[in-house]
Structure 1
Amino acid sequence: MSVDLMRPDDIALLKQTSREVRRVIRGAVAFGGLNENGKVRITAVSGAEHRTLTSIVLAPSRGLGGRSWQIGKPLSVEDYATADEITHDFDSQILGEGIVSLAVAPIIVRQRMRGLLYLGTRSPSRSPDAAGFLESQARRIAHELNIRDQVDDRLRLLRAAESAERTAPADLGQIHARLREIAHRVPDPLIAAELRELAAPAKPTDGHGAADGLTARQVDTLALVGLGLKNAEIAARLGLSVPTVKGYLRQAMARMHAPTRQAAVVEARRRGLLP
């Protein structure tokens, strides 16, 4: 069975939390969605009278949730209809539910925005603890997603180790890149250090994380270039922005005296920095 099939359903976790929010905040409408490919589609709804909330698809800066996404902090408005600090892209869905007061909390895992959790009431909110409770539930989801991510990473690492002896030499680059990618995302510094040691370059480092002129982050990026990934895919794998990935590639190309990214990979392999 694949690691993805073994993982519990993340949307089911969001739905369960939405029901819990509504159980505690009587008469509320609780809803949310997870970040997939830079968009958040509302997939979990509790307490709605209509089905229109599931038509909401958010991006950064759109609506109250988009602002929360941008700044990485919870936000709320007491009177949604008259709030002038948001874009009102989703008025038909929100006001169609009769929602007056709206709060949203981002679900952040390892500094990445993984989803949004909302709480709407059909009258002005009279509970000062409602926003705090919503934020605590978003943190609880983030904690659970983080645990699931780490379990997935360790299972994939174990399976890669178990099959390493049967793996063709051409696949060693993929294992090397995957080990460095996991090390980049694992929050535990000891586990990350062990993973980097497994994926260590053949040549010794200078003691400061640089190997033959390349930093660890530049090696991470080149390893994924060697697998044929594009900048946006590398950014998603390593939890970086696309401009940051481009910066690492420019620096690596300069240090490898390579005119192209592929030439930098070839030179890094020649120097023993990549398999």
Structure 2
Amino acid sequence: MGADTTGAVDAADTAVIRGALLRLRRTTGLPVAFGGLVETGRPRMRITELTGTRTPALSALAVTCGYGLGGKAVALGRPCAVTDYSASRQISHEYDAPVAVEGLRSVLAVPVVVRRRVRGVLYGALRTAQPLGDRMLHAAVEAARDVEQALVAREEARGLLDTVRAQPRTGAGTARAAQAPEAGAVRERMREAHAALRALAPRIADPALRAELLDACGLLAPDREPDGVRLAPREVDVLACVAAGATNAAAAERLGLRPETVKSYLRSAMRKLGARTRGEAVAAARRAGALP
């Protein structure tokens, strides 16, 4: 069954699914894992990522919402499992043939829910009819949560990039904007976007998108580095959070660091910038072009 291009999903998003399935097999010992994302504008998901399968029977299979085990998980928005797929009375049986060809018996399906909308499904399966157990279900739920967080991060990144592209660039464009009555609000939006981008970039697994985020940071802050000042990327991340009003604890949570690590980066940045206070460090970083 060939896949059409209508309703196609982002290749980087499917790569997130693939990574989660590999981790699921590694942590549980499940012999088979597969899954895919819900197609845009369609009430169905397509199985695009498979690991441990022996046949192409499930590849590109379109699963309609409400049908089969995965369709049930999509419709209910919660994990579903059966001990013997072909004999189960808990699901409909439109997909028995490909499941039988692959030789699957016990199967679980966990939806990936992003902002209350099901975006995909992760499956794990055995070729024997036996209960999958709470440990395997918990691992599958954790894998789905990892996918959810990655997709949220990518959505946030896309939104921030759109925000950045809508802002005037630093330099002459910013100087002209500063003459307008709304200049203060424009600068604040730029600074907020810069801080959010710096905090988000390390969470993005897709190297192309991460590079695009950092390029967008460069549009907001040209990083002129006068007088030989060179701040490390994490020092800039911390200063961006501080500039946005974050405490050390809040910056640590935002950046996925320990508060002690944030303090260390802040002290190092202050030393390089010749600053005695957090405020002086932010002002010096802005003069250096490290912050907008």
Place the TM-score, normalised by the shorter chain, in its bin: 0.5 to 0.7
Q: Find 1:161's aligned residue among 145, 164, 167.
A: 167
Shift of 1:17: 1.3
Residue 127 of structure 1: how far off its partner (Å): 3.8
For residues 10 and 55 of structure 1, do their structure 2 counterparts lie closer, same or farther at Cα, with a shift above 3 Å needed? closer
1:142 maps to amino acid: E
1:147/1:54 CA distance change after superposition, 3 Å: same
Q: Residue 148 in 1 paired to residue 154 in 2?
A: yes
Is 1:33 the counterpart of 2:39? The answer is: no
User: Hey, what's the Cα distance between the residues in 2 that align with 1:107 and 1:126?
Assistant: 19
Describe the superposition over 1:208-229 as per-residue Cα deviations: whole angstroms up to 9, x where unpaired: xxxxxxxxxxxxxxxxxxxxxx
Moved over 6 A (4+): none
Deviations 1:118-143 (A, max 9, x none): 00111224543111110110011001
Q: How does 1:42-53 map to 2 (within 5 A)?
A: 42-53=47-58
Matched letter for residue 123 of structure 2:
Y
- The alpha-carbon deviation at position 8 of structure 1 amounts to 7.8
Q: TM-score, normalised by structure 1?
A: 0.54
Corresponding letter in the other structure for 1:150: E
- Structure 2: which 5+ residue stretches go unaligned? 1-9, 174-292
Cα contact 2:83–2:132 (8 A) shared by 1: no
Higher fraction of strand: 1
Alpha carbons 2:30, 2:125 under 8 Å: kept: no
What SS does the corresponding residue of 1:107 show, helix, strand or coil? Answer: strand
Mapped partners of 1:58, 1:15: distance in 2: 18
**d(CA) in 2 for partners of 1:144 and 1:126?**
26
Tell me: CA distance 1:122–1:8, structure 2 relative to 1, closer, same or farther (3 Å).
Answer: closer
For residues 113 and 134 of structure 2, what CA distance do their matches in structure 1 show? 23
Task: Report the more deviating stretch, 20-29 or 92-101.
Answer: 20-29
In 2, the alpha carbon distance for the partners of 1:52 and 1:126 equals: 22
The equivalent of 2:19 in structure 1 is 16
Q: Which residue of 2 aligns with 1:77?
A: 82
Q: Give how far 1:48 is off.
A: 0.2
1:56-80 CA distance string (max 9 Å, x none)? 1012111111111111100100111
Instruction: Tell me if 1:115 matches 2:120.
Output: yes
Tell me which residue corresponds to 1:213.
none
Q: Which residue matches 2:201?
A: none
Mapping of residues 156-235 of structure 1, within 5 Å: 156-162=162-168
How many aligned positions are there? 158
Letter in 1 for 2:167: A
What letter corresponds to residue 52 of structure 1 in structure 2? A
SS in 1 for 2:47: strand
Q: Which amino acid aligns with 1:24?
A: T
Query: 2:97, 2:11 → 1: CA distance?
Result: 33
Does the residue aligned with 2:38 lie in a helix, a strand or coil? strand
Deviation at 1:18, TM superposition (A): 1.1
What SS does structure 2 have at the residue aligned with 1:9? helix
- d(CA) in 2 for partners of 1:84, 1:49: 26
Post-superposition Cα deviations, 1:164-196, rounded to whole Å, max 9, x if no partner, equal x9xxxxxxxxxxxxxxxxxxxxxxxxxxxxxxx
So what's the TM-score if we normalise by structure 2?
0.51
Shift of 1:160: 1.8
Q: Tell me the SS of whatever aligns to 1:55.
A: coil
Deviates more, 1:46-55 or 1:120-129: 120-129
Q: Secondary structure at the match of 1:32?
A: strand
Per-residue deviation at 1:55?
Answer: 3.3
The structure-2 alpha-carbon separation of the partners of 1:58 and 1:162, relative to structure 1 and needing over 3 Å to count, comes to: farther
The structural deviation recorded for 1:161 is 2.4
Give the partner amino acid of 1:10: D
Q: How far is the alpha carbon of 1:27 from its aligned partner? A: 4.5
1:91 aligned to 2:91? no
Moved more, 89-98 or 40-49: 89-98
